[in-house]
Amino acid sequence: MDITKEYARKLDKEDTLKKYRTEFYIPSGTVYMDGNSLGLLSKRAESAVLSLLDSWKNSGIDGWMKGQHPWYYFAERLGGMCSPLIGAMDEEVIITGSTTSNLHQLIASFYKPHGSRTKILVDELNFPSDLYAVSSQLALHGYDPSEHMKIVRSQDGMLLEEVDIIQAMTEDVSLIVLPSVLYRSGQILNMKLLTEEAHKRDILIGFDLCHSIGAIPHAMDEWEVDFAFWCTYKHLNGGPGSVGGLYVNRKHFGVGPGLAGWFGSDKDKQFDLDIKMTPATQVGSYQIGTPHILSAAPLYGSLQIFQETGIARIRDKSWKLTEYMRCLIDELLSEYAFQNVSPLEQERRGGHLFLIHEEAARICKALKEKGVVPDFRSPNGIRLAPVALYNTFEEVWETVQFLKEIMEKEEYLKFENKREVIA
């Protein structure tokens, strides 16, 4: 493999998405490799926030129904913009809540324990917040989470085997909640296969798309996934704490929301304020409270970019970036005890690489001193996410060169091998 900077620059010249880099605010003097934790601000996202602020400033309460972006229908409008990214129909997607609040809503709506089917199947490598939500929902139903949360174990602590998950789909399982992409290793689970196997056993299944939406294509409808939920501040670049999203397959429309609230009402009857709720007939029924308009505003600008590029082009470049980085790491860092645990196969690897090293916390601090922004995961992991919309192949080359220099000169030794408050 060509490991020269000139080759990296050649790849950048051939990049069909390179024009979008100028649309993002990249912190001065940095190589930003943490887009799978928090995506960068785009000029379009900034413009969308200012536009929504302007509607509040000039229209007051009339902003709910007037202006370029009437607030009353804003969640549905964003859902329609998001639906192509997950392979769903517009009426199946809504932008609302947060990752965990949406998971609570979906479990409350679709977890129907009966007879011996009382358990919720999860995995030990999922983001802990999902497991907290599952545990608390089981407790609310009167079940001991230690007995009724069925956990699939990893064979190596980094990856999951679909066969192990399928074997755990026994007759005592009522619901399954899994990640689409593992937040540490970046492994993509075979959602199509897992959904097929769950449905063969009459089990509903849903996926956490936080680390896959905006990075890889999905086909929720084609795969007949029952539900999904996600955040919008990673690959979707919606901003810190931006509003989450959820998907419910249309075959479940009519299943009432487990957690009811006034914004889940039929839009034509919502302001009648009847004591008895009339839920919306589509995915909007799973909203709870008033939409967070200003927190959702950046997403409108960000999703415009995804509409232009299409997720297929983003995935193509994302794969090339992580594969180029993987090859450079193998070529240049082989003597420094880095272990790359991300899958090698394209169909199994998402938008980031996960490196293990006993000095990971120190190495991350040394990278930041050089202007590279990585992501540390306790106790010994380094996540690096070259994002298709704003990272370059030359930045990938520079990042690996910096890693080599840090290890050659032992520059990491001046730092404490301990994570910061925010990893």
Q: Which residues are annotated as a binding site for pyridoxal 5'-phosphate?
A: 99-100, 127-130, 208, 211, 233, 262, 290
H-helix or E-strand spanning residue 123 = strand 119-123
H-helix or E-strand spanning residue 177 = strand 173-179
- Do strands 353-356 and 227-230 pair parallel, antiparallel, or not at all (unpaired)? unpaired
Cα gap 1→237, rounded to integer Å: 32
- Do strands 149-152 and 353-356 pair parallel, antiparallel, or not at all (unpaired)? unpaired
Tokens representing 204? 């509903």
**Beta-carbon count within 10 A of 422 CB:** 7
Q: Which residues are annotated as a binding site?
A: 99-100, 127-130, 208, 211, 233, 262, 290
Alpha-carbon dihedral of residues 138, 147, 165, 167, nearest 10 degrees? -130
Q: Are 325 and 355 in contact (CB under 8 A)?
A: no
Edge-to-edge strand ranges of the sheet holding 119-123: 93-95, 245-248, 227-230, 204-208, 173-179, 119-123, 149-152
- Helices and strands counted in the chain (H then E): 13, 13
- Do strands 353-356 and 204-208 pair parallel, antiparallel, or not at all (unpaired)? unpaired
Q: Are 195 and 205 in contact (CB under 8 A)?
A: yes
C-alpha closest to that of 118 among 98, 134, 101: 134
What is the secondary structure of 227-258 as a DSSP string? EEEE-SSSTT---TT---EEEE-GGGTTSPPS
Query: What contacts 317, CB < 8 A, 6 or more positions away?
Result: 15, 16, 17, 388
Tokens representing 213? 């939406």
Dihedral angle sign, alpha carbons of residues 292, 295, 296, 300: positive
**Strand ranges in 287-409 using DSSP code E only, listed in sequence order:** 339-340, 353-356, 372-373, 375-377, 381-384
CA angle 131, 154, 326 (to 5 degrees): 105
